Chain A
Amino acid sequence: MKRLLSSNCLWITIVLLILLIFPWIQRSQYSQHVMVMTMMAAVLASSWNILGGYAGYTSLGHAAFFGLGGYLVALAHNHFGWHPFISTWFLAFIVTGVALILGWISLRTQGSAFVVVTIAMVFIFRIVALNLASITNGARGLTQARPGWAGVPWSPEFIKIPFHYIMLLLLCLTIFVSWRIRQSKFGLGLIAIREDEGKAEAVGINTMLYKVLAFGISAYFMGVAGGIYSYFFTYIDPQFIFDIFTGVTMVLIAILGGRGTLWGPVLGAFIMEPLGNWIIGTFGGTQIHLTIFGAILLIVMLFMPQGILPTLSEVIRQRGKVKLAKVPS
C-alpha cells in the first residue's frame, strides 16, 4: 500500500478526484455515456492484462466471459428480480468458475494455437446463446426493465450517474487487484512464465496453476463488467455481446497503452475509447473508426512496440540520466 501511495500518489488522487466529480461538471448525457464506456474499456483491458500482459498469453476470447456475465445478470434480474448492481459481483464468481475449467483445457496450448482456441471460445458461447432460446431468448435477445432502484426508475438526466460510480468502483478494484498481483510472488511467476515457461517450470513454478488462476481472475472482472454493461443498455443479444471485436479491442487498448504494465491498459482506454466515439460522432456510424484504430495500432507497433507508457517512461528516464550526467560538469 505504501508504495502505491508514495510513488504515484499525487496524480492518482488528481485523476480519481476528476473522475469522482466528472458527472457533476459534465452534464451532457453523451459525455457521461462516453466516460462510462471508457472506464469499462479500462476495466476490460486491465483485467485482460493480468493474463495477456503479465503471463503473455494473448486471449482474443475474453468477450466470452464478458457476455456470460451479461447474460447471468440479465437472467437473474428478469427471473428473480436481483438488482444487477449487487448481483453482478456474485454472479461473476460463476464466470470465474467457468473460466477456470476452460482455462485448464485451453492453456495447454501456447502462442498462436492459444489465440485460435480463445477465438473459438467466443463463437461457442455465441452459438450456445443463440440456440438455447428457452433460456436466452435466442437471437431476439434479452431485455431488462429500465434501470432504477427499489422499483423507481431513474430519470433520464440522472440515469448515467449510478453507472458512472459503479464503473469507477470496478475500475479501482481491477487496478488494485492488478497492482497486488504485479507486486506479489504470483505476479513474479506470471512474468517468469511470459519470459520462459519451461525455465519457470524448472525452477519450481507450477505454471499450469499460475496460468489457470490468472485466467480465472481476469475472467472475474470481465464478468462483473459484462453484468453492468447489460444493465446499462438494458438489452443484450448474442451477436452483440459475444463479439470478437470486443475481445480484439481490449487487446489493442492494452498493447497501445503498454502491455504488461499496470497503468498502460488504463491509459490506452482513456485514449482509444473517447477517440473512437469522437470518430463515430464526426464521421457517422460507418466502420471508419476500425480503419483508424488499425492505422494507430500500426504506427504504435512500428515506432513504440512496447506501447505508449513504457516508451514514455523510458524517454523520461533517459532525459533524467542526461540531466544527472550534466550536473557535475
Chain B
Amino acid sequence: MPEKNMLEVNHISKAFGGIKAVDDCSLCVERGSITGLIGPNGSGKTTLFNMVTGFYPPDSGTISLNTQPIQNLLPSQICHRGIGRTFQITRLFWKMTVLENMIVPVRHTGWRTLFSRGVKRHEEERAMELLDLVGLTQYRDEEAGKLSFGQQKLIEFAAILMSDPELILLDEPAGGVNPVMIEKIMELVDDLNQQGKTFLVVEHNMRLVMELCQQIVVLDHGQKIAEGKPAAIQNDPIVLEAYLGSTNHAGT
C-alpha cells in the first residue's frame, strides 16, 4: 500500500537577504490529487516550487517524495525521482526543434545510453503521441522559438510528460493563454489525472483552480494561511482578506 501523501513539505523556509520568501511552510500533496497552490503575488509560490524541484536549497525544513527526502538532491536527480515541472515563463530549448525538445527530457541512465543514438524510434513515436495529444504534430521539425506563446506552453507541458513523472508541478499553466487554450489545458490536466498523475498547480485564474483542484493551499507572505476544499476556500475570510484587503482598511 503506497503512502497516501506523495509529496510532503515540512516546515521549510527560504530567505533572500532580509526577505522571507517562504516562512515555515508545510503542505502535502495527496497521491492522485490535483492540488492548487494560490496566493497573492509575491506570496512565495514559485519559491516553494523551486525548492521542491531542487533549484533552491531550503534554509531549513524537509521535503520528501514518497517518504524519501529530496531536499538535498540536484534538480536533475529530483526529475529522475519522478517530479516534472513547467516554468512560470515558458522555457524551451529555443533553437532546437520541437521534436528535440520532446526528446531531451527522456529519462536515461548509464554510459551506454549516453552515447547511444540521440533520437530513437520508440522515443520519437512516444513524442509524436504526446504532440498529437496537444495537437501540434505538424510542428515537429520547427524551431521551438518560432512557435506562438500558447503553442510553446503546450510543448513544454507535453515535453514534461516524456520523462513520465508521477507528480507534475505546473507554474501558472493558464498565464497569458487565450480562453480556448485554457479549456484545452484544463481538459489535459483532468485526463492525465484520471490516468493517475498527481498535480500541484500554481495559478491565478480562479475559475481554473476552483473547477480543477480537489484541494487548495493558500499562501500569503510565505506562510500557509488556509487549506481545504475549493468551496471552503472561496468563503474563507482570511483568504478574502489576503486577496482583497480587510473590509476595515477598505473603508479608511
**Stretch from A58-66, A197-205, A247-255, A313-321 forming part of the interface with B:** A197-205
Say how far A51's CB is from chain B's closest CB, in angstroms: 16
Q: Any chain A CB within 8 A of the CB of B100?
A: yes
Assembly CA distance A298 to B91 (angstroms) = 32
Residues of B within 8 A of A223 (CB): none
Assembly CA distance A256 to B166 (angstroms) = 46
A206 with B76, Cβ < 8 A, contacts A184-B115, A184-B116 known = yes
> Is A184 in contact with B114, judged by CB distance below 8 angstroms?
yes
A203 with B163, Cβ < 8 A, contacts A185-B118, A191-B93 known = yes
Q: Contact size class for B?
A: 20 to 34
Interface size on A, residues (CB 8 A): 24
> Is B116 in contact with A199, judged by CB distance below 8 angstroms?
no
Residues of A within 8 A of B95 (CB): 195
Residues of B within 8 A of A203 (CB): 76, 79, 84, 104-105, 159-160, 163
Q: Any chain B CB within 8 A of the CB of A180?
A: yes
> Is B76 in contact with A196, judged by CB distance below 8 angstroms?
no
Assembly CA distance A185 to B103 (angstroms) = 9
A188 with B91, Cβ < 8 A, contacts A195-B96, A202-B79, A204-B107 known = no
Residues of B within 8 A of A189 (CB): 104
**B114 to chain A: closest residue by CB:** A186
**A193 to chain B: closest residue by CB:** B93
Mostly helix, strand, loop or mixed at chain A's interface?
A: helix
Q: Which of A185, A202, A204, A205 counts the most B-chain CB atoms under 10 A from its CB? A: A204
Q: B67-109 interface mask toward A, CB cutoff 8 Å, 1 = contact, 0 = none?
A: 0000000111101100011010001111110001001111110
Q: B112-136 interface mask toward A, CB cutoff 8 Å, 1 = contact, 0 = none?
A: 0111111100000000000000000
> Is B118 in contact with A192, judged by CB distance below 8 angstroms?
no
Q: A193-224 interface mask toward B, CB cutoff 8 Å, 1 = contact, 0 = none?
A: 00110111111111110000000000000000
Q: A70-109 interface mask toward B, CB cutoff 8 Å, 1 = contact, 0 = none?
A: 0000000000000000000000000000000000000000
Excluding A202-B87, A203-B163, 19 further A-B contacts by CB distance (< 8 Å) are A183-B118, A184-B114, A185-B108, A185-B114, A185-B117, A188-B104, A192-B93, A192-B96, A195-B94, A196-B93, A198-B91, A199-B92, A201-B75, A202-B53, A203-B84, A204-B76, A204-B80, A206-B74, A206-B76
Enumerate the 4 nearest inter-chain pairs by beta-carbon distance, A residue then B residue, closest first.
Answer: A195-B93, A204-B79, A203-B105, A188-B118
